[in-house]
Structure 1
């Protein structure tokens, strides 16, 4: 399936504090390449992605442009400054597209520090969004979930059947008119924009039904040093894939 125009917003404004680094974690070099470039390459090589926008921490725009040129990220079209929160940053990216894309264009939102996004995951999220108006990457939940006892937080008497749960992350995709409308509504009504809220949780709070798309266990988010080591292991495994 081909799309007239597919736009990607990469949310990339986090710091490197939890990794104990002095630079933003998306700019940490792994095997002589910044984490963010690995992420961008996944979108660059996908044939159904037409343009990329990065919401970037202030002071790093020129660095990003230089890296994009060095690593031939030709689909990078816009770099936008982030906000005080994750939701403000994504909102800035969405608002910047007003007048630049059409209502029925598909917009993918993705974390810049999820560098192992798979081609098949991107394709499925695009197919589902084109059909339903939105799509969120999801995976089954394989662990048991118990609810804390309110009277004694060290005990439990209730669990949630894992068959009823899904882990949802990015990439997630939306028709631009829906995405833009909901961000205006959310910030006007102060709904779904605080704390750990993200586009998907905001949509649900505003009454939207979300549609699941395929996910991948490799689609890890690089938050801690352990995550970074796991990312390196995945890269090395790919290099050694010829081994039997």
Structure 2
């Protein structure tokens, strides 16, 4: 099985959007989380979807799933106090029903601009090599700074920004989450970081720079622009971009 595991537990504290969690903010008439869900809903290789969501937002999510006819959502689980705990909860729910060799694509609910090709590449690379981390090439000059003083300029030839999906065999990634909790690690940045911490060989897929995570108001404005480009391309054949 190929299963999308979406983390949609954020409250949008950096968005400054009033009381609306960032995953429910709308772009082109649909909440961000719906755009993300539909990517996996319509992909022919995805068999099921799990979503970790704040308990206070669960009813709203379930309403949207019904309204937009999202049929592949099989698990809706309560998110935890951290992103790690939320992802762990979702993985445990999936593991209760699915074989450990299932492919899981761990993805942010507020990262709605991936495409079918990236999803397929993740699934294929996991089946061939055991894991797949979607990344984008770093194009800016990267510096290290302490107290407003630049202390180092880091060559960017081999630098990538890890994004999502981050994809794995279910049994292996769940074992690492279990191990992290047993060792007192409860707030890892992402699944890629756990794989690196435990010395696993990690495999990269290069994705588009448009694969942004909507965290701030600026991100929301940029995402709306990308959606407009995609819409124009579909309607009028205008060229898109990364």
Structure 2 contact 137–206 (Cα < 8 Å) conserved: no
Aligned mate of 2:124, from 119, 127, 136: 127
Aligned mate of 1:59, from 56, 69, 75: 56
Q: Given the alignment of the two structures, is residue 187 of structure 1 paired with residue 184 of structure 2, yes or no?
A: no
Q: Given the alignment of the two structures, is residue 200 of structure 1 paired with residue 186 of structure 2, yes or no?
A: no
Structure 1 contact 136–200 (Cα < 8 Å) conserved: yes
Q: 2:70 and 2:80 mapped to 1: Cα distance?
A: 24
TM-score by length of 2: 0.92
Aligned mate of 1:36, from 33, 36, 49: 33
Aligned mate of 2:94, from 94, 97, 103: 97
Q: 2:28 and 2:144 mapped to 1: Cα distance?
A: 42
Q: Given the alignment of the two structures, is residue 234 of structure 1 paired with residue 226 of structure 2, yes or no?
A: yes
Aligned Cα RMSD in Å?
Answer: 1.5
Alignment map for 1:1-244 (pairs within 5 Å): 5-21=1-17, 22-148=19-145, 153-156=148-151, 158-191=152-185, 193-194=186-187, 197-241=189-233, 242=236, 244=238
Structure 1 contact 125–214 (Cα < 8 Å) conserved: no
Structure 1 contact 141–162 (Cα < 8 Å) conserved: yes
Greater Cα offset, 92-101 or 127-136: 92-101
Structure 1 contact 118–216 (Cα < 8 Å) conserved: no
Q: 2:77 and 2:57 mapped to 1: Cα distance?
A: 11
After TM superposition, give the deviation of residue 93 of structure 1 in Å: 0.7
* Count, aligned residues: 235
Q: 1:207 and 1:190 mapped to 2: Cα distance?
A: 18
After TM superposition, give the deviation of residue 122 of structure 1 in Å: 0.7
Moved over 6 A (4+): none
Q: 1:75 and 1:206 mapped to 2: Cα distance?
A: 32
TM-score by length of 1: 0.91
Structure 1 contact 186–206 (Cα < 8 Å) conserved: no
SS at match of 1:17: coil
Q: 1:23 and 1:136 mapped to 2: Cα distance?
A: 30
Structure 2 residue runs of 5 or longer lacking an equivalent are none
Q: Pick the structure with more strand per residue.
A: 2
Structure 1 contact 29–35 (Cα < 8 Å) conserved: yes
Q: 1:155 and 1:48 mapped to 2: Cα distance?
A: 46
